[in-house]
Copies of this chain bind each other. A is one copy, B any other.
């Protein structure tokens, strides 16, 4: 349809000073968006057209698969969140109603969709069930960022699927990956997007993945090797560098130390040794009040996701937390003076990070104040099991190819597929009758997210050039930009616009006629907004019987219309 313009919001002379991120500044300055408050943006007409084009690509590909679009509510009853134990989560909004009623404006919709499915899944015939919706989501962020990621209000495409069992889902899985791949291909991101394994916090699985687009400024780090191994840093593994493994093992000795040396810098200085030769032990408390400790090289850190994946199996899915000073007191020790030496009397299960095997003759605290040990080796320790607990560093090598350095790249998550097991379906009591008319109360649930508004930011960053954002043609706000030089030509320009629209092209007609809205400004805005095709309607072009058509990124062409 022809925007009989009164032209939409014009570009700004300077970028509003609300973001230190360049792509956001461009989005603001070219009037694609406006910041409503920290972490919340309004889409102005030009930006909303881009947003809608992105949304439409996602919708078409979801529909082309087997997903049915629906629309769930934003306001949800407190009871839903109490069922799954998520009511008290601090960064989800609570909304008071009348007479003590409380609601939540949804940050995510697992609860909603389970409440619906509880009614609509009755029989094996109703499975699998696949739905999605595209809707605003809300987070009560403590520190909403002005630029990129931590938003109070944003749009998600969230899809959910329900399956009788994991095998049923497996038939779908490759299809789902294809859908996502197609979406990022159509949006021009696929060349720099990878699928990283995402074994989530509480659940580990081969059916959870994140789609990550490489972007230098972004905060996630992707760890890759040339075999296709691709993990988020939080979940990646690598081979730590061997240190003094050639050295001969010496006998352990106790030495007196000054009690005040309680940090690594002072310790390395005191012993005149590098940090990797120091060791540390971190003590955790399980919900059963049993304690365990992890010993690791001091230059490495413990990855708590890996830790959880190990501990849940050992201690029957018990949760755990760092031991407090008071806990250590009960154990008869204090922080900094804990070690799994064989003569230790501590009632603690000790596990060791694999990196301990890369160093010989460690320095270590004894289990007493002002006492240290030197020349500690594995034979001096009572460690019941070694495991990969560490977060890889850039000097680690691949586990798959000897000597190959891991590649670390900054990236932004653009989509994900998570296996939720029965975490949400169970509290909502979704069950069904199977072929034998028996009730089955176990439903496997997956969720699939794409942050639509976030994707627009990722694309802005990805397609940003020195001056503007070179949107892919299928996402650009309009197909054609018609510049009218003089009022007499508005009628003619309108005819051209109508012709183009009858061919399903979208057209913006720049009919600004006030003083100073001269050609340069119009051509400039056309370029800033990255409208692929430009037509100039003027006395000059009329004289010659043709209109000028220019592809912004190609040579000028002259066409007869």
Other A-B pairs, 18, CB within 8 Å; known A75-B152, A98-B140: A3-B66, A6-B66, A8-B68, A10-B126, A36-B72, A36-B75, A36-B112, A37-B75, A42-B71, A42-B116, A43-B70, A45-B69, A45-B131, A48-B71, A49-B69, A74-B138, A74-B153, A93-B97
- Chain A residues 418-466 with CB under 8 Å of chain B are none
Contact A1 B45 (CB under 8 A): no
Contact of A74 among B10, B43, B74, B120 (CB under 8 A): B74
Chain B's closest residue to A97 (CB) is B140
Q: Whole-angstrom distance between the alpha carbons of A5 and B115 in the complex? A: 22
A539 on interface, CB distance cutoff 8 Å:
no
- Chain A residues 151-171 with CB under 8 Å of chain B are 152-153
Binary flags per residue of A93-104, CB closer than 8 Å to B gives 1, else 0: 111111100000
Which residue numbers of A lie inside 8 Å of B, CB to CB?
A: 1-6, 8-10, 31, 34, 36-37, 40-45, 48-49, 51, 60, 63-66, 68-77, 93-99, 105, 112, 115-116, 119-120, 124-126, 128-131, 133, 136, 138, 140-142, 152-153, 512, 514, 517
The 10 A-B residue pairs with the shortest CB-CB distance in the complex, in nearest-first order = A45-B68, A43-B71, A1-B64, A1-B63, A36-B73, A125-B514, A8-B68, A4-B66, A75-B153, A42-B72
Chain B's closest residue to A117 (CB) is B9
A152 partner residues in chain B, CB cutoff 8 A: 75
Give the most central of A75, A97, A99, A138: most B CB within 10 Å: A75
Contact B76 A6 (CB under 8 A): no
Contact of A40 among B75, B129, B517 (CB under 8 A): B75
- Output the least CB separation between A165 and chain B (Å): 16
- Output the least CB separation between A485 and chain B (Å): 17
A68 partner residues in chain B, CB cutoff 8 A: 3, 8-9, 45
Q: Whole-angstrom distance between the alpha carbons of A93 and B103 in the complex? A: 10
Contact B42 A153 (CB under 8 A): no
A95 partner residues in chain B, CB cutoff 8 A: 93-95, 105
Contact B42 A73 (CB under 8 A): yes
Contact B66 A42 (CB under 8 A): no
- Output the least CB separation between A76 and chain B (Å): 7
A48 partner residues in chain B, CB cutoff 8 A: 69-71, 133
Q: Whole-angstrom distance between the alpha carbons of A56 and B166 in the complex? A: 39
Q: Whole-angstrom distance between the alpha carbons of A71 and B98 in the complex? A: 29
- Output the least CB separation between A525 and chain B (Å): 14
A69 partner residues in chain B, CB cutoff 8 A: 45, 48-49
Q: Whole-angstrom distance between the alpha carbons of A66 and B6 in the complex? A: 7
Contact A70 B97 (CB under 8 A): no
Q: Whole-angstrom distance between the alpha carbons of A131 and B37 in the complex? A: 20
Contact A73 B1 (CB under 8 A): no
Q: Whole-angstrom distance between the alpha carbons of A460 and B230 in the complex? A: 52
Contact B42 A125 (CB under 8 A): no
A40 partner residues in chain B, CB cutoff 8 A: 73, 75
Q: Whole-angstrom distance between the alpha carbons of A125 and B10 in the complex? A: 11
Contact of A75 among B98, B138, B142, B517 (CB under 8 A): B138
30 residue pairs from A and B, CB less than 8 Å apart: A1-B60, A1-B64, A4-B65, A5-B66, A6-B129, A10-B126, A31-B120, A36-B72, A36-B73, A36-B76, A37-B75, A37-B77, A40-B73, A42-B70, A42-B112, A43-B71, A45-B68, A45-B70, A45-B131, A48-B69, A48-B70, A51-B71, A74-B105, A75-B138, A75-B153, A93-B96, A93-B97, A95-B105, A98-B142, A125-B512
